[in-house]
Amino acid sequence: MNPLIPFLKVSNEFPRFYWKGRGSTTACVGYRHSISSPITFQAQAFHENSCGGIWSTFPKEWSFSPEHIISADFEHATVTPILPQCICRKDTPTYEKWWRMVTDATEKIEKGEFRKVVLARQTTLTFDATVDPLELLKGLMSFGSTTSLFMVQLDKETAFIGASPEKLFKRLERKIYTEALAGTISKLEKWSPKEFEEVNAVRLFLLNQLQTCCHDLQCGSPEERPFGDYKHLYQRYEGVLKSKISDKILIEKLHPTPATGGLEAAAMEYLRNIEPIFRGWYTGPIGLISEKETDLSVAIRSMLVRGNEIHLFSGAGIVKGSQPLKEWEELDRKIEHVLRWSYE
């Protein structure tokens, strides 16, 4: 087991974060704020009005510069979390409401109002006792080789946790690396035009945005990326940043991507009006920022733990030809590992 978990078990330092970037062999914990820290852990809401409801104690933007950082080699492990008994599941929206939302979105896509929109669902699991966030973090260690693992813990019973396969961007000095990631199918399924349409929307967005802030922009070849029993479509981009482009400007240009919101402003406005949940930090940027290196992921495959509840978030890209039932099944696939832990 990762040696940082025992440290977190006995520590009473809050707030704090855990971070292991995708592709990194090192994990770290940061705690106790300091204005002189050389690095900052940053998390941000999906949009400025996202932190209502269950997210009311979370700011729309959180920057935490730790006085103390403890790091260790990341050790891949498969551990089943020890959770209390799950006594209730509630989906928001319900399937009936979801069917109406997807039908309405596809009708607007057919009319040409926008090309793609990503609709989200919140699945709330209620347990008969308080849930330990660190148990869930231990469970996510099995995804550590293909994801960024993160946890922001505000207090002993409140934490935002996830294992994201998607980078927003990584910057090394003036070199930037980012990617188009979209589509979710099982390892046994074959790709359909629907998934290619999803990733093409992200590719188009990235090209348009990166051309305004990069020199020497290069694109990799399309490929598959694994996530547990599933896979995504992936394409890598890299370039050299123009002189006046900062991390803040990059975040503004790349967030939200069409993989989490929509390709056009009309799609984002549609989301604000139709989604019945507060996304909070789900689908927002999260990660480490410093002068020499910045590593930010998109906070998908994530959950909010509050006392005896786990709020799971999942989204599905709606494009021409999307079917409500298949999209609902995709939402379940994205959270099935936590559902399995909760009902074992």
Q: Which of 60, 90, 111, 166 is catalytic?
A: 166
Q: In b/e form, how buried is each residue of 219-241, taking b as 16+ CB within 10 angstroms?
A: eeeeeebebbebbbbbbbbbbeb
> Active-site residue 223, yes or no?
no
How far apart are the C-alpha atoms of 86 and 309, rounded to whole Å?
A: 9
What are 19's two structure tokens?
């971070």
Q: Which of 9, 60, 96, 116 is catalytic?
A: 116
299 within 8 A of 161, measured Cβ to Cβ: no
- Residue 327 phi/psi, 5-degree rounding, is -70, -35
How far apart are the C-alpha atoms of 28 and 295, rounded to whole Å?
A: 13
How far apart are the C-alpha atoms of 12 and 207, rounded to whole Å?
A: 45
How far apart are the C-alpha atoms of 103 and 174, rounded to whole Å?
A: 44
> Active-site residue 166, yes or no?
yes
How many CB atoms lie under 10 A from the CB of residue 40? 17
What are 76's two structure tokens?
């891949």
Query: Helices 133-140 and 324-343 meet at what angle, rounded to 10?
Result: 110
Q: What is the 3-state secondary structure of 98-158?
A: HHHHHHHHHHHHHCCCCCCEEEEEEEEEEECCCCCHHHHHHHHHHHCCCCEEEEEEEECCE
For the four alpha carbons of 89, 92, 97 and 100, in that order, the dihedral sign comes to negative
What are 66's two structure tokens?
């730790």
Q: Is 50 helix (H, G, I), strand (E, B) or coil?
A: coil
Identity of the residue numbered 163: A
Residues designated as active site: 116, 166
